[in-house]
Structure 1
Amino acid sequence: MDRILYIVNPVAGGGRTKKLIPIIDGHMKGREIDYDIVLTNKPGDAVHISKESLKRGYNKIVAVGGDGTVNEVALGILEYGQGVLGIIPSGTGNDLARTLNIPSNLGEAIEVIIKGSNKKIDVGIVNDNVFLNIASIGFDSEVVVTTEKIKKRLKSRFAYVLSIFLTLINFKDIKMRLEIDNISYDKDIFLIAVGNGKYYGGGVQILPMAVIEDGFFHVCLVNKISKLKLLFLLPTIINGSHIKQKKYVEIFKAKSVKVITKSKTYLNIDGEVKDIDNEILFTIKKEKLPVIISN
């Protein structure tokens, strides 16, 4: 019999996720299923909670939150070596859930946890960090950094939109050497996205060709482009049609990707930004991660 643990990040989705606890309880009560609900208190909690709960016999560990919460629960499962990841999407982006077609409706998502089937998906590693969805360098990472600065003064959903325009004004293309499956390229790039999933940034279809279980990274490279032409390209990235713009966009499929930059830059890992100096290496783990999806 299944034992299900719901790990709730109470600050996900601007604090809305905490309000889901009584609703989850309402859906689970009356069923002959052993379950429990716990809250995280700080970043990293979900990793520890996942491992401890697996030791106690839980077999389905459900991340209730955004992509950051999902990432932590997945890391706990991978470190322990067994267990299945479930997802209740309730964060800001929910991009992995979108790729996996997990319902945004809470009741429907819980039914998937109870009745769904398991799918084994690829797990990426970038400079010792696990990621399930997409990691990227360039313009979008700068936008996330700018957004966090703006949010300190402007608590509004327009903070992200404003940060796009502010970043665009100041952004300079990044000079880098790329090694994609040991073939080298010297590039001035606007953006490089490496991933397993199709979406990031809350539904932007940066890798529409990606297959999350095929054992390969899918790579989108946007080369140096004038800011005027970029204004026309950006809307196409939302629906994935940018991949047709072959003059500016290159698509690759690879087992490993190395990026070497001459200056400090930012790396966006499933929505979390880290400072990076010089070298970034993307590889795929041999082990796949079981995730509950709709039948």
Structure 2
Amino acid sequence: MPRRRRILVLLNPHAGRGALGGVTPQQFSDDAGIDAEIIVPDPDDHAVQMAQARRELAEGVDAVLVRGGDGMVAAGVNLVAQTEVPLGVIPAGTGNDFVRAARLPLSSPAALQHLLTALRAPELTTVAVDALHVILRAPGVTREWWVANSLNIGFDAEVNQRAETLRHIPGSLRYLVGLVQSLPRFHTRRMRLQLDEVAHDLDVALICVHNGGYIGGGIPLNTQAKHDDGVLNVSTVGRVSRTGVTLLFPLVYLGAHRLLRPLSAHQATRLRIHIPAGVPVYADGEAVHAPPLGTPSATEDAGNHELQVQVVPGAVRLIHSETVRHTQTW
């Protein structure tokens, strides 16, 4: 008889408080006929939740399930990257770009059934996907973490930062307001990018380092990018007017961004970026380096902060209920 599985569940309290795909974790186990011990750290305090999750992971779990948006997926990836523990995802965020690129169900009910099918099987079937390993070095600070889908640097990160202050505005409208508020201070910054062994000094409005083809809730930035190709994709927007940067977002959303000449696409396996200190950095929709809004760069010397990014092929195993390429049973 197969042993009882231990399943660690991470919930975003803002994406269906206390529920996993519309049911409580206990119902998930009992009513669905899944013979498992369900462990649910307190979702009300993210730091406490992650500390408890790391302790449970050290004791041994058979799978980690997350319910939420790209930020919660990133939390799960940071737990399981380069381990033997598979990850299951129930999307419940505004973006869900990782799920979209990984070709997993986009609706919570469909994703729940997808996971139930996999978890009822005697062995879990998984598919290997890449993750981005990132190191940020700044004066007196070194930080290391994993990125599931995208790393955003510059203007789009500032729009995200402003949108976070507009919680009273519903849904995606807050990003539009954030864009309008960011435009008066918009200007390009001088940054150095080293793609593998080739260095470029560029004036850029923004840099997006992405693992999949979608950002910003389904914007098809580069549909050729795949989560399992072992390639780091880098999109940059160079010198552009305020009108041009305003048009950037709708053009990209419509798939017509090739009409915007300052947008360039690059590929590598390793990347090093030197950025001014006042430039914000977001990873999977969450702030990594977010200086107070309106903070000047202090100096245009690009050596204030350094980001090192490397794609790690097959760093994460996603629970999958279908027969797909590169599957493995656990």
Question: TM over 0.5: same fold?
Answer: yes
Q: Which residue of 1 aligns with 2:190?
A: 175
What is the match of residue 79 of structure 2?
A: 76
* Residue 156 of structure 1, CA deviation: 2.6
Asked if residue 143 in structure 1 is aligned to residue 170 in structure 2, the reply is no
**Partner AA of 2:192 in structure 1:** R
- The alignment's C-alpha RMSD in Å is 2.5
> Of 253, 259, 266, which residue of structure 2 is paired with 1:252?
266
Count of residue correspondences: 289
State the partner residue of 1:18: 18
2:316 to 286, 289, 294: 289
Question: Can you give the 5+ residue segments of structure 1 that lack an aligned partner in the other structure?
Answer: none
| 1:267-291 deviations in Å (ceiling 9; x for gaps) | 1111111227421111123661101
The change in CA–CA distance for 1:102 and 1:159 in structure 2 (over 3 A counts) is: same
Which residue does 2:327 correspond to in 1?
none
Matches within 5 A, 1:1-80: 1=2, 3=5, 5=7, 7-13=9-15, 16-20=16-20, 23-24=23-24, 25-26=26-27, 28=29, 29-36=31-38, 38=40, 39-78=42-81
Compute the displacement of 1:241 (Å): 3.1
Query: Do the aligned residues in 2 keep the contact of 1:180 with 1:257 (CA within 8 Å)?
Result: yes
Distance 1:30 1:258 in 2: 47
Deviation at 1:292, TM superposition (A): 1.7
Alignment CA distance shift 1:26-1:218 (3 Å): same
Q: What CA deviation, in whole Å up to 9, does each residue of 1:52-102 have, x standing for no partner?
A: 4445553121011122222122222237x2210000111232211111222
8 Å CA contact 2:128, 2:314 repeated in 1: no
Note if contact 2:20-2:28 (Cα within 8 Å) is conserved in structure 1. no
8 Å Cα contact 1:50-1:77 kept in structure 2? no
Q: CA 1:185 to 1:3, structure 2 compared with 1: closer, same or farther past 3 Å?
A: same
Tell me how far apart the structure 1 counterparts of residues 69 and 58 of structure 2 sit (CA, whole Å): 25
**1:221 aligned partner:** 236
* 1:234 to 1:49, Cα distance in 2 relative to 1, 3 A: same
SS of 1:260's partner is strand
Counterparts of 2:155 and 2:62 in 1: how far apart (Å)? 39
Structure 2: stretches of 5+ with no match in the other structure = 119-124, 136-143, 291-303, 323-330
SS of the residue 1:76 aligns to: helix
Contact 2:8–2:53 (CA under 8 A) maintained in structure 1: no
Counterpart for residue 87 of structure 1: 89
List per-residue Cα deviations over 1:129-158 (Å, max 9, x = no partner).
Answer: 21010001111100111112233xx34333
Structure-2 separation of matches of 1:49 and 1:23: 22
270-279 vs 212-221, which moves further: 270-279
Percentage of matched positions with identical amino acids = 24
Letter in 2 for 1:96: F
SS in 2 for 1:126: strand
Tell me which residue corresponds to 1:124: 132
Q: CA deviation at 1:213?
A: 0.9
